[in-house]
Amino acid sequence: MNRIWIVMLCAMAGNIQPAYAYTIYVSNEKDNTISVIDGDSLEVTDTIEVGERPRGIVLSNDGKYLYICASDDDHIEVLDLQSKQVIYNLPSGPDPELMSLSADGSLLFVANEDDNMVTVIDTVQRSKLVEIPVGIEPEGIGLSPDGKWLVSTSETTNMAHFIDTASLKIIDNVLVDARPRVAQYTPDGKEVWVSSEIGGTVSIIDAASREIKHKIEFAVAGLRPESIQPVGIKIAADGSNKAYIALGPSARVAVVDTTSYAVEKYLLVGPRVWNLEFSPDQKRLFTTNGVGGDVSVIDLQKQKVLKSIKVGRLPWGIAVNP
């Protein structure tokens, strides 16, 4: 009898928090803060002060810590999400911008925009493992799903470098259009999508042959082509065959079919849309709108923008904690 009561109590306690409660973290580049957004109410619940010019953010695998590229402080900050305190810094080399965490959480791969390096950080030893020289202005960092490959982009060299994560050596370089920003593997690991901000395209690179098999171009009626500047890329892993591409100053997110590469729709979000992240169930997509100063919430089933949430100034990076 007592046991049943306990079970019931636990069930009730469980009901107080919805089953799919999740949290969205947004770095505000200008305010030096992280906005915390509740996934249910879609309200900002907290704003945490961090180091100078926070840009790329990544969650630890256990969801307890947030790694933050504090670009102007030249290190990665580790934010304890429970205490909301930065508990220590990782040595990243100058001007860290974007990063990826290895599947086992032991390595952080960081692009040092000012230093022409990709820095590999041992997150356990909290030390710099190696620096890999790449092209000028490294930016995007994309890990293959099997963790064997790292693709890094160089904005001024206009290349995607394919790095073997075992040897930490560059194996190949692929020339893409001007100012490549984000590199993202498809969930099956067969393709790498690279956005070119100034070129205005997304190159689809065949991961095995490392040849460009397609280039996606964009056009929005009534908008000058210069304003269409692809940056963030997210490719759905829910079988919907859709990818989402943030188009910068045009304030649009393009919805792309991943089999035909056709652009199906442009969703209006906010100006200078930078980066994107899915909700854990992949039913929603969140966008950071830099100049807009807000986060747009997109309902992916209806393909509609639900709401925009005011955050700090110049929101940039985004991470979702399930």
CB of 134 to other proteins, least distance (A): 7
132 counts as binding other proteins under rule CB under 8 A: yes
Q: Which of 63, 89, 102, 122 binds other proteins (CB under 8 A)?
A: 122
Phi and psi at residue 136, in whole multiples of 5°? -85, 135
306 counts as binding other proteins under rule CB under 8 A: no
130 counts as binding other proteins under rule CB under 8 A: yes
18 counts as binding other proteins under rule CB under 8 A: no
170 counts as binding other proteins under rule CB under 8 A: yes
Q: Which of 64, 169, 265, 307 binds other proteins (CB under 8 A)?
A: 169
73 counts as binding other proteins under rule CB under 8 A: no
CB of 35 to other proteins, least distance (A): 22
199 counts as binding other proteins under rule CB under 8 A: yes
CB of 102 to other proteins, least distance (A): 11
215 counts as binding other proteins under rule CB under 8 A: no
Non-local CB neighbours of 174 within 8 Å, separated by 6+ positions: 159, 160, 162, 194, 203, 205, 210, 211, 212
136 counts as binding other proteins under rule CB under 8 A: yes
Task: Between 10 and 171, name the residue whose CB sits nearer to other proteins.
Answer: 171
Q: Where on the chain is the footprint of other proteins (CB under 8 A)? A: 95, 113-114, 122, 125, 127-137, 154-159, 167-173, 175, 177-179, 197-200, 224-227, 249
